[in-house]
Structure 1
Amino acid sequence: MDGHGRATAPAAGTVLNALATGHGSAFAIDLETTAEVDLDGSGTFAGEVADHPDADTRLIERCAELAVDRWGADREEETGARIRTESEVPMAAGLKSSSAAANATVMATAAALGVDPDPVDACRLGVQAAKDAGVTVTGAFDDASASMLGGVTVTDNSRDELLAHEALDSHALVWWPDQQAFSADADVDRCKRVAPMAQLVEELALDGRYGEAMTVNGFAFCAALGFPTDPLVEALPAVDGVSLSGTGPSFVALGEKDALESLADIWNQREGTTWLTTTRQTGCQTT
């Protein structure tokens, strides 16, 4: 152990938005956030986001602080750290950039301390940091667990409880416009009005029918959050599933590569970025 740790965590797409019922579902996708942590004994936690000098660093600072409190409390000389994150994941686009940053930071801090924590426990620590930093409404255990574990998860966010976790092997197409939508600003009351649809989505997800689940979710939450449904309609019926991801503004589709390439030709006509990738079976990893 040299007081330095590095970890990567994947982004995630949405099957079920947890704002309506407190239950959510997400799957890891192959876009990464990397965190590097150096313990420095300064007594303070200072964060930096690469290429975003004005970014809010409270989340990654709180992640490192909680991790040191949990696993390094008997090492007073190691209190304090410098944290730097770098990401392929666009910020505030609904692709779980905060969850990926939190997971990577927690695990990088654990590595710097010479600790190999239980992944779910580490995930819950990042969720607590997100709540403390005010960057999440639901706690985002669904997003965080998918990013930490890989594959697809279904969760009870009110209890940070994992209800289901399994592999999900598919190509994925993501489109995000040149705008941001912060989860903490979402209209929760409007989302709760689509709770009956969210309950249906959860039933489908727990039955392993993730494509159908995310499509129902997409139409329900586009309506609740005021996003257009055109990207959903353009994807059907060729894809396995398509949804607004998180609280937007990005959309994500799952399906065969050929179908997604054809969809990319359509989505590319919109302003923004279209990215063809895959789901991820591996989650957060120290490197």
Structure 2
Amino acid sequence: MDGRAVAPAAGTVLNALATGTGSAFAIDLETTATVELDESGSATGEVDGHPDADTDLIERCVELVISEFAADAGLDPDTLGGRVRTESEVPLAAGLKSSSAAANATVLATLDALGVRDAVDRIDACRLGVRAAREAGVTATGAFDDASASMLGGVTITDNTSDELLARDTFDTDQQALVYTPPEQAFSADADIGACKRIAPMAHLVEELARDGRYGEAMTVNGFAFCGVLEFPTGPMVEALPDVEGVSLSGTGPSYVAIGERESLEAVRERWNERDGTTRILQLRTDGTRVQDTTQSGEER
């Protein structure tokens, strides 16, 4: 009973910390989860390359899927357990939704291992990962916006207080993403939620722009507002304007994400490369989390 799934990372249009409404979009950095179910009665996790990483989230994902769906597969949830291992291109605590990608990949891999993947709606699978994230304490909001973008692909707008998908869309096909990640880390669970709520009027404006499909403008307003309240520098954003369609602090930082045509992004990349950290140009993903065949060299299913 093995399963494997791959989930993309995401960037931010609207941070949900201010009002509970958020928006995010999938980008081409991936996390892979491999799940092997057994009769151990418990879940154990491992993060490749990070032996001391907290594995509570991915273990809780396995436990919740077993609890919810093992009986549907004719198995006893009380005796079923398993091992989960994640491998990731997504830097940890960088604002690029590494936790959401890990949760989505683990949930879908576990459903695949149980043989019930096709019986579970993708958005319901996403909600299960969000529940695990809340219970593991790795997110302040549950991050349904980030998780939905990673699970479904494209750009999503969500109500994170009710885990409701409000809208899903895609960017123009000629646009890509430029990501700048400084060397430091920032954990979303440590964000000052009270301070973020004070900029709710700006967040409502960002939501209006996003609902009108003006994602670039929405990102930029969001970025300046949350750089202010979370005390991140606005320099990278100023350096990106006016060459890009939009630029924002991603999540609670420290990464910044811009969208635009590749030629414009290359010009911004030259400026960002003068800063400490890494930059990369990535495709915007219209597909989301997907299962891989564990027996045929990673072939997608």
Task: Establish whether residue 164 from structure 1 lines up as the match of residue 167 from structure 2.
Answer: yes
Residue 40 of structure 1, CA deviation:
1.3
Partner of 1:162, secondary structure, is strand
Bigger shift: residues 73-82 or 188-197:
73-82
After TM superposition, list the pairs within 5 Å mapping 1:50-69 onto structure 2.
50-69=48-67
Partner of 1:76, secondary structure, is coil
Which residue of structure 2 aligns with residue 76 of structure 1? Answer: 76
Bigger shift: residues 97-106 or 168-177:
168-177
> Equivalent of 1:285, from 285, 290, 293?
290
> Equivalent of 1:39, from 37, 58, 61?
37
> What amino acid is the match of 2:147?
A
Deviations 1:161-200 (A, max 9, x none): 0000012242100010111100000011111111000000
Deviations 1:57-76 (A, max 9, x none): 00000001101111103412
> What amino acid is the match of 1:26?
A
Q: State the distance in 1 between where 2:186 and 2:19 align.
A: 20
Task: Establish whether residue 122 from structure 1 lines up as the match of residue 120 from structure 2.
Answer: no
Partner of 2:258, secondary structure, is strand
Residue 14 of structure 1, CA deviation:
0.1
Deviations 1:67-114 (A, max 9, x none): 111110341276100000000000000000000000000000000000
Which residue of structure 2 aligns with residue 141 of structure 1? Answer: 144
After TM superposition, list the pairs within 5 Å mapping 1:185-204 onto structure 2.
185-204=190-209
Q: State the distance in 1 between where 2:260 and 2:280 align.
A: 14
Unaligned runs of 5+ in 2: 293-301
Partner of 1:21, secondary structure, is coil
Q: State the distance in 2 between where 1:178 and 1:130 align.
A: 25
Which residue of structure 2 aligns with residue 175 of structure 1? Answer: 180
Partner of 2:232, secondary structure, is coil
Aligned length: 285
> What amino acid is the match of 2:43?
F
Give TM-score scaled by structure 1 length.
0.98
Q: State the distance in 1 between where 2:48 and 2:96 align.
A: 18
Which residue of structure 1 aligns with residue 298 of structure 2? Answer: none
Residue 44 of structure 1, CA deviation:
1.2
Q: State the distance in 2 between where 1:235 and 1:285 align.
A: 33
Q: State the distance in 1 between where 2:280 and 2:80 align.
A: 40
Task: Establish whether residue 131 from structure 1 lines up as the match of residue 134 from structure 2.
Answer: yes
Partner of 1:208, secondary structure, is coil
Which residue of structure 2 aligns with residue 216 of structure 1? Answer: 221
Give TM-score scaled by structure 2 length.
0.94
Deviations 1:118-150 (A, max 9, x none): 100000000000000000001100000000000
Task: Establish whether residue 244 from structure 1 lines up as the match of residue 245 from structure 2.
Answer: no
Task: Establish whether residue 263 from structure 1 lines up as the match of residue 264 from structure 2.
Answer: no
Identity over aligned pairs, percent = 68
User: Once superposed, what is the RMSD of the aligned Cα atoms?
Assistant: 0.9
**Which aligned segments of 4 or more residues in structure 1 are displaced greater than 6 angstroms?**
none
Bigger shift: residues 49-58 or 266-275:
266-275
